[in-house]
Chain A
Amino acid sequence: MKDIIYRSHILICTGTGCTSSGAKKMRIALEDELAERNLNKEVKIIETGCHGFCEKGPIVVVYPEGVFYCEVKSEDIPELVEEHLLKGRIVERLLFKEPVTEENIPSYHDIQFYKKQERIVLSNCGKIDPENIDEYIALGGYEAVGKALSSMSQKDVIAEVKNSGLRGRGGGGFPTGLKWQFAHEAVSNKKYVICNADEGDPGAFMDRSLLEGDPHRVIEGMIIAGYAIGADEGYLYVRAEYPLAIKRLEKAISQAEDYGLLGDDLFSSGYNFKLHIKKGAGAFVCGEETALMASIEGKRGMPRPRPPYPANSGLWGKPTNINNVETYGNIPYIIKNGAEEYSKIGTENSKGTKVFALTGKINNTGLVEVPMGTTLREVIYDIGGGLGEGMKYKAVQTGGPSGGCITSEHLDLPIDYDSLLGVGAMMGSGGMVVMDDGTCMVDVARFFLNFTQSESCGKCTPCREGTKRMLEILERICEGEGEDGDIALLEDLAHHIKDTALCGLGQTAPNPVLSTLKYFRHEYEAHIFDHKCPAGVCKDLASAYLIDKETCVGCSICAKACPVDAITGTPKESYQIDDDICISCGVCASKCPVSAISQG
């Protein structure tokens, strides 16, 4: 089999996004079609991990031409095979259309979505079959661990990682090399490394995509970490809702074991390392490192006070290094290419790239990897293709439930750990939600606080009780029951919780509130004092719509559109809305050709 040289390779993304939009069905259709046309000896199908462009899935890339097809359905297969594979003609209608220029773009690298990205961690995702270790090795995989084990001391490895300037991608941004040094210096006959793949932020899927698309990269990073700190055992703590990632990791571990890349005496260095997978307990707080370790130990996932830090007393009381999936994903590159090369990418204090999950009111949602220091404008407009038609940018929420929002005045801010903190937002794990002017910021704050309150482990007073009180205040504001003094109380509680909560969950839970209060205080005030929701989102505050008599041309479109028949009038003259019937859905306003309708 190995000797067959294929004429073409068809890469089908089978990441979670593309699978849910029908990749599996399409693959079967393709197999059948190729068999029918006797092409199955000439064309090879390869399942790949996520390309990051989930919005346009299922995604198919045909090599050697590198043509990038989007939204390929099983119905499209006969045409694709006939035209592209047999006749050598590109199927224009399946190409990606640039939202701004409407231009059809055939090649991967010319699509704006990919052009501005710099893919280090995700470099193999979408290119290789993640279930085949040979493909990883063919692209230079496991070279870094070979180099580390055969020509570098533990201290060399740590120095390299320190010099690279890599900081933890799990949210905190702690310097990775320093963390390894602490674990290395801890004296013990047993140490552990842990990979944190709990990824609980709503809307985040960076870690999942990397594990699904290039599991060996993460494994390689962990072996190097284990060697550096002197651990012979590691755990991958993976969210239970990620069955595909777990399956691919299991496969990857067993392949690496077969190849002698995991197990005893790796690269004849005398170094032993084994890896286990532990399924997560399904709670957001289990991503917090001390809770995560408690969960591996079979206890309730509840954070504990630090110190002691995991580097000194971690899993089962032993020195432990815990890093995020993406952090480990950077390690092979750093060891292979050197700290100097790596540190050329990024800003002064934030080196390398960062993967973001771009979602919300944006044209190209998906996974993007950009150098630190890229501006938000580049991410949103160049890569993300801007907001949908007729939508106006309002803010980007970064860092999920622990983050904050960035308004249009900061669109040109180069993104890194410190700049985001400076504007009251946070890198977090890399969630980026784009919001337009139809978003109510009080409602956004309420959403996140509801999330953190219900995910709080309930251990400490400020988080358990305090976030509940904040949530109650936000709920009453959204319901039009807000009172004078509520904003002050919210701020008081927010600072109190940040100051005294036990773990990061509580300490950051008030951020969405503080950040929206900082930039959108007027929206809170409008809710409380004017009993209005400026974005028209909060149902209890929505006032009825009004038709401006002067502007109305009497076309009757609104009356036909109204779902509750609140609009009456005489054609060609003018129409009016009955306050009592109107449910403030806004359909009429969106249909009116002369913009005569607005909210009262």
Chain B
Amino acid sequence: MSKINIKIDDQAVQVEPGTSLLNAAKEIGIEIPYLCYHPDLSLHGACRVCVVEDLKSGKLVASCATPVTEGMEFSTRSQRARVARRRNVELLLANHPNDCLGCDRNGTCELQDIVHSLGIRSEDVERLEGERREVEVDEVGPSLKRDPNKCILCGRCVRTCEEIQGVSALQFANRGFNSIVTTAFDLPQRDINCANCGQCATVCPVGALTEISEIDKVWKAIEDDKKYVIVQTAPSIQATIGEEFGYEAGTIVTGKLAAALRRLGFNKVFSTEFSADLTIMEEGNEFLKRLQGDKNLPHITSCCPGWVKFAEHNYPDLLNNLSSAKSPMQMFSSIAKTYYAELEDIDPASIYTVAIMPCTAKKFEKDREEMNDSGYQDTDAVLTTRELARMIKEMGIKFELLNDEDFDELMGAHTGAATIFGTTGGVTEAAVRTVKEKLTGEPLERLNLGFRGINDAELVIGDKTIRVAIANGLANAAELLDEVRKGESPYDFIEIMACPHGCVGGGGQPLPASREKKDKRAAGIKAIDDQMVIRKSHENPMIIKLYEDFLGEPLGGESHHLLHTKYQARPKN
């Protein structure tokens, strides 16, 4: 179709049909403010902060929800439009706690940015003030805190949970001024079907949805002389935490990350990539066994705790298809409190394990009743990327000035296969590398699966054709699983990550996160893998040593006890 001619603030512009006024204005360098609009979600048209004046009809229209039509003329700068945008922000502020200084989102709050850029002052808001929303805050966890008093009812979380995750744990309730976003029957997060993925928190423009912070717990452990505090960082963190310190998305800051962790006072600084290689050893062999015995196929990955909980609620009949291998984080912690404690001669009771994760669901995973195989709670605390950045900032550590350092010996060693766990498709690629070599002795070429949505591939290993599929976003996952349930799935191996783009798009990653940023983060992770000398998990020398010294065989008795787990069916709602 040919382009559409419109006029924005007297400038003639040509844009693609279907473009919204908001995006048309953006093309000529005018940023119209908005709060409820989100490029990954359906149109909502609720905040009315993006209104512009349609000069022909004389009406104010929401620019996010109005598509261009031929000959349209509109003004972003008319007095009516300008005042109306301000007034709607003022109305939101009149019912918003004046708590910016103590808010987790201070500095990353989209409402704050808009107030600042529109130049709204306290006196503009004071004249509108009256009753304020006062409802209970849900902070029982395990992963997220929901403070409806800060909520501006943009509905992004509701749409994310429904459209991207297919969970619909959040919904609008009540009417008029009493409207809120809440869960079914106002139940706390721990009692509902929430996957704890935290995607809602990544789209929330304000501080109404945030992770349950464990910073205080971790400081206390570090400050306790009797505790031996071991930290592990997930593969994706090195590609994302830089954003908190002004780096371009996708910049790899592994060395500075290790250095910063040491400055904070952790006794040992390790990488979860070590145990990601271990996961591949276990899960790869498990898959091989299922493939050879033609049992419980398709094999479905289980390293994403958001996905696991979603499966427990919605696909209890498919739990046998999930790999019984624990996630890398949990494998790491159980080895840390057994093998590593023995090796270093440390009383495991004094070991405190902290995991830096891209994820809010990991906070839930660590508290699962199944995760005590070391004889202690395997993982003691989980910090998101954002929480770690906060600790680094608190200590005044100039991240960008740090010299690169290495992870500590032993549980820091890893391969490229482990690194790519940090992004969608990574687990599949890592597992297939090992499986293929084991079966044929030949190395695997790159699968090059896409980052977004559902992707699949077919590869020939020896005389077998293996079909793999990956899905990120639970609504996408549900499509694949419904096929499995009906017995119509063509796949042998399915990898599922709850968060779009996998862990680089996790619920604990730096904010704000756009699709483009997540693409860059994922590309950064792949680039590390490309440069690795050892790219196959089974070649990790420390893993070889671990099996020789301690575990024996993959899927053997000790492995089974420490590295595998069980799942439980949970109610659908």
A binds B: yes
Chain A residue, CB-CB nearest to B180? A458
Instruction: Looking at the assembled complex, report how far the CB atom of A599 sits from the nearest CB atom of chain B, in whole angstroms.
Output: 31
A-B contact count (CB 8 A): 103
Question: B155 to chain A: which residues have CB within 8 Å?
Answer: 459
Are A458 and B84 CB-contacts (below 8 A) given A465-B95, A469-B128, A472-B131?
no
B43 in the interface (beta carbon within 8 A): yes
Q: How far is the CA of A321 from the CA of B92 in the complex (A)?
A: 36
Q: List 13 A-B contacts (CB under 8 A).
A: A453-B177, A458-B174, A458-B178, A459-B44, A461-B88, A464-B176, A466-B91, A468-B95, A468-B131, A468-B177, A469-B91, A496-B83, A502-B62
Interface string of B83-95 (1 = CB under 8 A from A): 1100110011011
B245 in the interface (beta carbon within 8 A): no
A501 in the interface (beta carbon within 8 A): yes
Interface string of A298-316 (1 = CB under 8 A from B): 0010101101000000000
Q: How far is the CA of A459 from the CA of B155 in the complex (A)?
A: 8
A499: contacting residue among B44, B80, B153, CB under 8 A = B80
Beyond A496-B88, A499-B60: 13 further Cβ-contacts under 8 Å? A304-B43, A304-B44, A455-B176, A457-B179, A459-B153, A461-B47, A461-B91, A465-B91, A465-B94, A472-B130, A496-B87, A499-B84, A500-B51
A577 in the interface (beta carbon within 8 A): no
A511 in the interface (beta carbon within 8 A): no
Interface string of A536-568 (1 = CB under 8 A from B): 000000000000000000000000000000000
Chain B residue, CB-CB nearest to A450? B176
Interface string of A491-532 (1 = CB under 8 A from B): 010001001111000000000000000000000000000000
B84: contacting residue among A454, A469, A496, CB under 8 A = A496
Contact: B48 with A453, CB < 8 Å?
A: no
Contact: A304 with B172, CB < 8 Å?
A: no
Question: A496 to chain B: which residues have CB within 8 Å?
Answer: 83-84, 87-88
Instruction: Looking at the assembled complex, report how far the CB atom of A53 sits from the nearest CB atom of chain B, in whole angstroms.
Output: 35
Query: How many A residues touch the partner, as a band?
Result: 20 to 34
Q: How far is the CA of A305 from the CA of B37 in the complex (A)?
A: 12
A489 in the interface (beta carbon within 8 A): yes
In this complex, the member of A302, A469, A502 whose beta carbon has the largest number of chain B beta carbons within 10 angstroms is: A469
Instruction: Looking at the assembled complex, report how far the CB atom of B424 sits from the nearest CB atom of chain A, in whole angstroms.
Output: 30
Question: A455 to chain B: which residues have CB within 8 Å?
Answer: 175-176
A300: contacting residue among B46, B95, B172, CB under 8 A = B172
9 smallest beta-carbon distances between A and B, as pairs: A458-B179, A305-B45, A305-B65, A465-B91, A468-B177, A472-B130, A456-B176, A500-B48, A461-B88
B49 in the interface (beta carbon within 8 A): yes
A404 in the interface (beta carbon within 8 A): no
Q: How far is the CA of A285 from the CA of B88 in the complex (A)?
A: 21
Are A300 and B171 CB-contacts (below 8 A) given A461-B91, A500-B88, A502-B62?
yes
B127 in the interface (beta carbon within 8 A): yes
Are A302 and B176 CB-contacts (below 8 A) given A499-B84, A500-B88?
no
B176: contacting residue among A454, A499, A501, CB under 8 A = A454
B67 in the interface (beta carbon within 8 A): yes
Interface positions, chain B 159-180, Cβ under 8 Å from A, are: 171-172, 174-179
Contact: B92 with A465, CB < 8 Å?
A: yes
Question: A472 to chain B: which residues have CB within 8 Å?
Answer: 130-131
Contact: B175 with A458, CB < 8 Å?
A: yes
Interface string of A242-284 (1 = CB under 8 A from B): 0000000000000000000000000000000000000000010
Q: How far is the CA of A414 from the CA of B488 in the complex (A)?
A: 68
Q: How far is the CA of A468 from the CA of B174 in the complex (A)?
A: 15
Q: How far is the CA of A499 from the CA of B65 in the complex (A)?
A: 15
Q: How far is the CA of A283 from the CA of B47 in the complex (A)?
A: 22
In this complex, the member of B59, B62, B87 whose beta carbon has the largest number of chain A beta carbons within 10 angstroms is: B87
A330 in the interface (beta carbon within 8 A): no
A interface with B by C-beta (< 8 Å): 283, 285, 300, 302, 304-305, 307, 453-462, 464-469, 472, 489, 492, 496, 499-502
Contact: B176 with A458, CB < 8 Å?
A: yes
Instruction: Looking at the assembled complex, report how far the CB atom of B48 sits from the nearest CB atom of chain A, in whole angstroms.
Output: 5
Chain B residue, CB-CB nearest to A492? B87
Q: How far is the CA of A461 from the CA of B93 in the complex (A)?
A: 11
A468: contacting residue among B45, B130, B153, CB under 8 A = B130
Question: A462 to chain B: which residues have CB within 8 Å?
Answer: 48, 87-88, 91
Q: How far is the CA of A434 from the CA of B170 in the complex (A)?
A: 45
Contact: B176 with A305, CB < 8 Å?
A: no
Instruction: Looking at the assembled complex, report how far the CB atom of A452 sits from the nearest CB atom of chain B, in whole angstroms.
Output: 8
Q: How far is the CA of A501 from the CA of B48 in the complex (A)?
A: 7
A467: contacting residue among B80, B83, B176, CB under 8 A = B176
Chain B residue, CB-CB nearest to A307? B67
Q: How far is the CA of A465 from the CA of B62 in the complex (A)?
A: 17
> What does DSSP make chain A's interface, helix, strand, loop or mixed?
helix
A460: contacting residue among B48, B60, B178, CB under 8 A = B48
Interface string of B58-82 (1 = CB under 8 A from A): 0110100111000000000000100
Interface positions, chain B 466-515, Cβ under 8 Å from A, are: none
Question: A492 to chain B: which residues have CB within 8 Å?
Answer: 87
B94: contacting residue among A302, A305, A453, A469, CB under 8 A = A469
Contact: A500 with B176, CB < 8 Å?
A: no
Question: B60 to chain A: which residues have CB within 8 Å?
Answer: 499-500
Q: How far is the CA of A459 from the CA of B177 in the complex (A)?
A: 10
Q: How far is the CA of A302 from the CA of B49 in the complex (A)?
A: 19
A469: contacting residue among B47, B62, B130, B178, CB under 8 A = B130
B177: contacting residue among A302, A304, A464, CB under 8 A = A464
Chain B residue, CB-CB nearest to A302? B172
A502: contacting residue among B45, B66, B95, B177, CB under 8 A = B45
Q: How far is the CA of A534 from the CA of B381 in the complex (A)?
A: 68
In this complex, the member of B45, B47, B95, B155 whose beta carbon has the largest number of chain A beta carbons within 10 angstroms is: B45
Chain A residue, CB-CB nearest to B93? A465
Question: B176 to chain A: which residues have CB within 8 Å?
Answer: 453-456, 458, 464, 467-468
Contact: B175 with A459, CB < 8 Å?
A: no
Q: How far is the CA of A492 from the CA of B128 in the complex (A)?
A: 11
A283: contacting residue among B87, B153, B175, CB under 8 A = B175
Q: How far is the CA of A492 from the CA of B127 in the complex (A)?
A: 12
Q: How far is the CA of A295 from the CA of B250 in the complex (A)?
A: 44
Question: B152 to chain A: which residues have CB within 8 Å?
Answer: 461
Question: B83 to chain A: which residues have CB within 8 Å?
Answer: 496
Are A461 and B84 CB-contacts (below 8 A) given A305-B65, A455-B175?
no
Q: How far is the CA of A464 from the CA of B151 in the complex (A)?
A: 13
Question: B84 to chain A: which residues have CB within 8 Å?
Answer: 496, 499-500
Q: How far is the CA of A500 from the CA of B84 in the complex (A)?
A: 7
Contact: B43 with A464, CB < 8 Å?
A: no
Question: A467 to chain B: which residues have CB within 8 Å?
Answer: 176
Interface string of B168-196 (1 = CB under 8 A from A): 00011011111100000000000000000
Chain B residue, CB-CB nearest to A300? B172
Question: B47 to chain A: which residues have CB within 8 Å?
Answer: 460-461
Chain B residue, CB-CB nearest to A473? B130
Interface positions, chain B 25-71, Cβ under 8 Å from A, are: 43-49, 51, 59-60, 62, 65-67
Q: How far is the CA of A597 from the CA of B45 in the complex (A)?
A: 57
Interface string of B232-265 (1 = CB under 8 A from A): 0000000000000000000000000000000000
Q: How far is the CA of A52 from the CA of B404 in the complex (A)?
A: 86
Q: How far is the CA of A67 from the CA of B125 in the complex (A)?
A: 65
Question: A285 to chain B: which residues have CB within 8 Å?
Answer: 175
Question: B172 to chain A: which residues have CB within 8 Å?
Answer: 300, 302, 458-459
Q: How far is the CA of A300 from the CA of B171 in the complex (A)?
A: 9
Chain A residue, CB-CB nearest to B95? A465
Contact: A460 with B87, CB < 8 Å?
A: no
Instruction: Looking at the assembled complex, report how far the CB atom of A502 sits from the nearest CB atom of chain B, in whole angstroms.
Output: 6
Contact: A304 with B45, CB < 8 Å?
A: yes
Question: A465 to chain B: which residues have CB within 8 Å?
Answer: 91-92, 94-95, 177
Question: A305 to chain B: which residues have CB within 8 Å?
Answer: 43-45, 62, 65-66
In this complex, the member of A283, A455, A472, A496 whose beta carbon has the largest number of chain B beta carbons within 10 angstroms is: A496
Question: A499 to chain B: which residues have CB within 8 Å?
Answer: 51, 59-60, 80, 84
Contact: B46 with A460, CB < 8 Å?
A: yes
Q: How far is the CA of A131 from the CA of B336 in the complex (A)?
A: 79
